[in-house]
Structure 1
Amino acid sequence: MIATRTAPRTRLNMRLRLVALLQTPERNPRRPARPRIVLGWVGAAALLLNVAALVALDAPWPNLRDPEYGMRVARLRARVAENPNRPLVLVLGSSRTCMGVKPAAWEAVRPGTPGDPLLFNFGTVGAGPIQQLIALRRAYADGVRPAVVLLEYWPPVLRQDGAFAEQHRVGQRLRFDDAPVVRDYFSDPERVERSMVTARANPIFANRERWLALASPKYLAMNQHANVPWRELDRWGWLPGMDVRSDDAATRRVFLDHYRPDYQRQFAGHAIHPDSDRALRAAVAFARAQGARVGFFYLPESPEFQSWYPPGVERAAREHFAGIVRELSVPVIDARNWVAEDQLADGHHLSRSGAGAFTARFGRAVSAAFPAPGVYP
């Protein structure tokens, strides 16, 4: 009798539990509130992180958007602070400049007078005249005041048509104060400026690769080239190039053979673009307007690399260089034939040892072209 009485009650309890399990959200309005709260907090946190990232990118940490530039300008400020009375010589150019101008080598041999030029390597990997102009304008915007500005002249980067246009090598590194250059030299400035705004709307996603390269060894294991432009920068802005010994002709031959097809394409149909000419002139005018003296320099090339220039390209480059130097009255340090082939890793980039020997002579040439004291602004 006891079992008979409890069985209905047990069945009733099971039914109540089943109803509770099958109860719809509408009958239990408090259940969905928790997911909504969680999603709200996640959204707020994502928004806060993006706002913080946006502020950091455009204010205290410029290396987050453009690590190569940011690290150089930080090192530059430190060297100026250590040598406040020496005339600063800002050297701008391409990867050839980055790897070729080693100011520490000049520091080791300079006379030691207060007027010795304070060389600093402010190059940009992949730069031509338009990116040189961007770097120069940024430097002044960030408070740098050089006594002398030296601009690299190199014919291969003066081509701006199609895939050779410099704007393809800038990417998401542009700052809002780069906009005047974008409008003057980019083929579709409206699209580029829209992409700049879009990148700032989601700065974490837009800059993820650079930040991973800065922070994650695991990422670098997958992408060894992500931080090449800045990972070995020394305190003077020099980026050590290929470590090819002077007696290692076999390795130099491998590099030359590797680069020959690239420059054959570069020189096929090569012409100095009007925008390259304008950018060089604009950089000279801008630096002079700020009170700096300006010069051009032409870095070493091996005889074999020089032989790759078609006669028409060589002739046009010589005429253009001579013309712009004459019209602007700009001093020139023409180092094209300064070093032997065994000091060039690939015919156009100085090796690590070659950079040291070259820069010791380069510093003396800068001193001669821009004598001190008294004539510096």
Structure 2
Amino acid sequence: MAVTAPAIRLPRLTQTGAEPSRRLHFAHGQKARGAALAVAFGFAVALTIQLATGWIARTDRVPLSDPQYSDKLALLRTHSGFASENNGQTTLLFLGSSRTFDAIGAGTLSSALSHDLGTPVEVFNFAHAGAGPVTTAVYLRRLLKAGVKPGAVVIEVHPAFLAAQTSQPPEARWLHPVRLRRDELALVSELGLPIPTPATHGPRGWITPWHEYRVQLLDRYAPVFSALQFRLAEHATDPHGFVRTPEVPEIQRARLRELTRKQYSDCWADYRPGGSGMKGLRDALKTCRTAGIRAALLITPESTEFRSWFPEPGRSQIVPLVSELAEEFRVPFFDAREWIADEFLGDGHHLSGAGADVFTERLGREKLGPWLRGFCRGGES
């Protein structure tokens, strides 16, 4: 009887060997798709954040393009008298650079003028660091568009910003393109301060605003990492826009004066007043005249040494030139360069707190009171 050998089942090498391979391929595919989805999701989130930041910046929901202006406008809006409908209240606005910023105690001036004129007078110091005549002209137009309507405006004349002989206007070093709005570029160019269109006005302002506004973002939200010497946002002003400068010892004042001399060194050589500075003053005065706002021009105090840095014959041309402009627009011109003792001017043209007290009181008593009395409510005609 034949014996049948048991059937031997060979392992299905092909089938069993392919199964782990398919599993591995499937797992790898899942990981790849997951990674791709994660990258796509991350890109979408990043793009959304960038676009949202660009929209926020362009609409001033958060003041990134020009934080100095936006922050001070927010403070100004707490003073209802400066609204378009102010019920006849007398309002006085100061515009200018840091020289006015720390020279006019607007709150003190409000009380003094109200007492002197026998009617409520509200004063606000809307000056900004580095704001020359062109910046002032731009800001004045912005304020009117924003519904701010002062009854009177005092416009600072900064003699160094009038230097017409420099290769580029001195104000250009402070007026960074990103601070300007799209419709302001043509105006600034017309006033003799050509500024290139900033990248923030183009697609990069939407797609990469975190890069384009990096200086402003660090200054506002992480100032410890900012390389700026002076902050753009959140200046420690009082409720009326005034910043009180502390006293400095003589040895420090000498160092500050030397820094100032170097800072404006290109203005002193062959000084000749005119240029974009005068165009900016003229535009601001035209804006005031069109809007029915009373205007005045003011040169804030300067030390003896600071005034000597302006060479002749340019130095002697400053007052006649500004006086001619004032006469053309029939506005008063207050030349206060020699009003305050040198000891109150730490760096030669910025007043200490004590100096600002002296200057504010004298300016109100001798110039502003008589000027405002002629047209403020309740005053003499």
Shorter-chain TM-score: what band?
0.7 to 0.9
Question: In the TM superposition, what are the counterparts of 1:266-305 in structure 2 within 5 Å?
Answer: 266-305=267-306
**Structure 2 counterpart of 1:211:** 217
Question: In the TM superposition, what are the counterparts of 1:18-97 in structure 2 within 5 Å?
Answer: 19=21, 23=25, 29-61=29-61, 63-80=63-80, 84=86, 86-97=89-100
Whole-angstrom distance in 2 between the partners of 1:13 and 1:271:
94
**Preserved contact between residue 210 and residue 226 of structure 1 (Cα < 8 Å):** no
What is the CA distance between 1:89 and its match in structure 2?
1.1
Cα distance, 1:56–1:302 mapped onto 2, change above 3 Å: same
Cα distance, 1:205–1:322 mapped onto 2, change above 3 Å: same
Cα distance, 1:18–1:352 mapped onto 2, change above 3 Å: farther
**Structure 2 counterpart of 1:367:** 369
Aligned to 1:37, the other structure's residue is in SS state helix
What amino acid sits opposite 2:156 in the alignment?
Answer: E
Aligned to 2:119, the other structure's residue is in SS state coil
Given candidates 145, 149, 157, the residue that maps to 1:145 is: 149
Cα distance, 1:52–1:229 mapped onto 2, change above 3 Å: closer
Whole-angstrom distance in 2 between the partners of 1:211 and 1:50:
13
Whole-angstrom distance in 1 between the partners of 2:371 and 2:140:
20
Aligned to 1:370, the other structure's residue is in SS state helix
What amino acid sits opposite 1:337 in the alignment?
Answer: E
Given candidates 100, 109, 133, the residue that maps to 1:129 is: 133
Cα distance, 1:333–1:80 mapped onto 2, change above 3 Å: farther
TM-score, normalised to structure 1, is 0.84
What amino acid sits opposite 1:157 in the alignment?
Answer: F
Report the identity percentage.
25
What amino acid sits opposite 2:349 in the alignment?
Answer: H
Cα distance, 1:226–1:19 mapped onto 2, change above 3 Å: farther
**Preserved contact between residue 244 and residue 251 of structure 1 (Cα < 8 Å):** no
Task: Say which is worse superposed, 333-342 or 223-232, in terms of deviation.
Answer: 223-232
Gaps of 5+ in 1: 1-7
Given candidates 77, 83, 99, the residue that maps to 2:102 is: 99
Whole-angstrom distance in 2 between the partners of 1:255 and 1:60:
36
Cα distance, 1:361–1:20 mapped onto 2, change above 3 Å: farther
1:315-335 deviation per Cα after TM superposition (whole angstroms, max 9, x unaligned): 221221122122222112222
TM-score, normalised to structure 2, is 0.83
Q: Aligned pair count?
A: 360
What is the CA distance between 1:375 and its match in structure 2?
8.1
- Which of 1 and 2 has greater Rg? 2
- Cα RMSD of the aligned pairs, angstroms, is 3.2
**Structure 2 counterpart of 1:5:** none
Given candidates 205, 224, 238, the residue that maps to 1:234 is: 238
What amino acid sits opposite 1:49 in the alignment?
Answer: I
Cα distance, 1:40–1:180 mapped onto 2, change above 3 Å: same
**Does 2:134 match 1:118?**
no
**Structure 2 counterpart of 1:166:** 171
**Structure 1 counterpart of 2:190:** 184
**Does 2:321 match 1:317?**
no
Cα distance, 1:234–1:61 mapped onto 2, change above 3 Å: farther
Whole-angstrom distance in 2 between the partners of 1:82 and 1:130:
22
Aligned to 1:74, the other structure's residue is in SS state helix
Cα distance, 1:302–1:13 mapped onto 2, change above 3 Å: farther
Cα distance, 1:36–1:327 mapped onto 2, change above 3 Å: same
Whole-angstrom distance in 1 between the partners of 2:357 and 2:61:
31
Task: Say which is worse superposed, 321-330 or 163-172, in terms of deviation.
Answer: 163-172
Whole-angstrom distance in 1 between the partners of 2:253 and 2:238:
24
Whole-angstrom distance in 1 between the partners of 2:82 and 2:157:
30
Higher helix fraction: Structure 1 or Structure 2?
Answer: 1
Whole-angstrom distance in 2 between the partners of 1:105 and 1:219:
36
**Structure 2 counterpart of 1:225:** 229
Cα distance, 1:213–1:279 mapped onto 2, change above 3 Å: same
